[in-house]
Amino acid sequence: MRIAKLATAASAALLLAGCAQGGLFNRGAPDEFAVARNAPLVMPPDYALVPPAPGTSSAASVDTRAEAINALFGGPQQRSATETEMLQAADRDRAAQGARSVAGDPDTNVVDKGAVTQTILQVPEGDGQEARVSTPQ
């Protein structure tokens, strides 16, 4: 028991000695009071800025969204041959302008997906525990 107390006291003394200035574990920490001051700010001798001339475009008239897209994606790119063929196969030239605004119109041509799609769309909302659907086979 006496040896354990002696070992505990020795390790505590060693740990405390490491915390003291100039102790066993002096790591050369920086001195927080030896901070150099920065040079004071001064006005530059020449701004090299001139007011915009009358009749020229101002910076406010620049389309920032278009500039950002150009900076990110490099501007409009040519479509690949595969993409062009796919768009032609999908009849992109027949698509109506503003198709989303006329989607509910009775004169809109739609594709009949069959009874299964209608059954799926008519399933009641819920977490799925009581929602049961039987499809004809």
**What is the b/e burial string over 121-134, where b = at least 16 CB atoms within 10 angstroms of the residue's CB?**
eeeeeeeeeeeeee
- Please say whether the dihedral angle defined by the alpha carbons of residues 54, 60, 63 and 67, taken in this order, is positive or negative: positive
User: What are phi and psi for residue 126, nearest 5 degrees?
Assistant: 165, -175
Residue ranges of the domains in the chain? 63-94
Spatial neighbors of 123 by CB under 8 A, at least 6 apart, are 131, 133
Q: What is the pLDDT of residue 14?
A: 76
Q: Does the predicted TM-score (pTM) go above 0.85? A: no
Percent of the chain with pLDDT over 70: 74
Which of 28, 9, 29 shows the shortest CA–CA distance to 17?
9
Q: What are 55-100's pLDDT values in tens digits?
A: 777 666 778 888 887 778 776 677 788 988 888 888 877 766 666 6
Predicted local confidence at residue 132, as pLDDT:
66
More confident residue, 83 or 30: 83
pLDDT of residue 49 exceeding 60, the answer is yes
| Nearest residue to 132 via CA among 113, 117, 114, 119 | 119
Q: Per mean pLDDT, which range of 14-18, 39-43, 99-103 is the poorest? A: 99-103
SS3 69: helix
Per-residue H/E/C for 44-63: CCCCCCCCCCCCCCCHHHCC
Confidence grade of residue 117 (pLDDT, cut at 50, 70, 90)? confident
What are the structure tokens assigned to 37, written together? 């001051």
